[in-house]
Amino acid sequence: MTTTRLPWKVAVQVILLANAVLVLAPMALMGLSAFKSTREIFQNPFGIPTVWRFENFARVWVEARFALYFRNSVVVTLASIVVILVFGAMAGYALGRFRFSGNDLLYLYFLSGLMLPIRLGIIPLFILMRNLNLLDTHWALILTYAASGLPSAVFILTGFFRALPTDLDSAARIDGAGEWLIFRRVMLPLVRPALVIAAIYNLIPIWNDFFFPLVFIQSDRLKTLPLGMTTFFGQYYTDWALLFAGLTLAAVPVILLYVMLSQHFIRGLTAGAVKG
């Protein structure tokens, strides 16, 4: 039996290794290119820089108004994630812990949001934001991202809330705790890995999004990082060295956040796999 499974294990490891290379190789290439000049990027795209140009990062920070765009991205991303987690956790708790008429129908309604890309509704969204006087504000981005992220958060959190033993909230009610106290002090700490999964799942697309800032934001002072990086694209010339330096700086916070939360993320995935 062990001999029969060995080739499959080797094949799985080879596939995982190949996938890791496909993911990490472009990131390594981006990081190396950030320390080169534009000429060297084209002359030696895959090699080590002959001279490590740390000044590329300083130029990006000053010339591209990187600090302003970075702050805007942080504000929009954090606000969107907070809204997604708060309302997603409340909806997941209600759908996962209470059985009422229309429970399954409401759950399917949230799930339908996973099947319809929100970009299909860009024209009605634009008209809605215009009527609400939210165009060229961060609120247009925050509300759009929150609406697009809620279905996945509800889907993830509802499954975790349903898997928790019913004795927990029953014991808390016997002790006189109200629903809000049970939700905040008993249930939320137990679904912390699911909250991390929902946060990371939505954080990366929001942080990297270029489409909605391009549609909703006109003022330079309100641009996020992906939109702000377009300043390096000229009609006749593109400064690839500064562009790669900016992309590297933009990727560092997401990588660090994932490293810090990786244990919760893996714990949540494995818990979900065991619970089915």
pLDDT-derived band at 173, boundaries 50, 70, 90? confident
Average pLDDT, the chain: 85
pLDDT-derived band at 26, boundaries 50, 70, 90? confident
Ordered DSSP codes for 224-276: -HHHHGGGGB-SS-B-HHHHHHHHHHHHHHHHHHHHHHHHHHHHHHHHHHHH-
Which CATH number fits the domain that encloses residue 115?
1.10.3720.10
Total domains in the chain come to 1
The pLDDT, as a whole number, for residue 234 is 61
pLDDT-derived band at 7, boundaries 50, 70, 90? confident
What pLDDT digit, counting tens, does each position of 197-222 carry? 899 889 989 999 999 999 999 898 99
**In a 10 Å sphere around its CB, with 0-12 CB exposed, 13-18 middle and 19+ buried, how is residue 267 labelled?**
middle
Position 138 in a domain: yes
Name residue 233's beta-bridge partners: 238
Position 20 in a domain: no
Nearest partner of 128 among 117, 114, 139, 116, judged by Cα: 139
What is the pLDDT averaged over residues 86-99? 90
Position 108 in a domain: yes
pLDDT surpasses 80 at 182:
yes
Is residue 118 a contact partner of residue 152, using CB atoms and an 8 Å limit? no
Position 49 in a domain: no
Position 12 in a domain: no
Position 5 in a domain: no
Position 222 in a domain: yes
Is residue 248 a contact partner of residue 241, using CB atoms and an 8 Å limit? no
Nearest partner of 34 among 24, 20, 48, 15, judged by Cα: 48
Domain that holds residue 158: 58-275
Between CA 50 and CA 43 the distance in angstroms is 11
Residue in the block written with tokens 């300083």: 58
Nearest partner of 190 among 214, 165, 227, 225, judged by Cα: 165
Residue in the block written with tokens 């270029």: 210
Position 4 in a domain: no
What is the pLDDT averaged over residues 244-254? 87
Query: Where is 131: in which H helix or E strand?
Result: helix 122-131
pLDDT surpasses 60 at 236:
no
The per-type count for the chain, helices as H runs and strands as E runs, is 14, 0
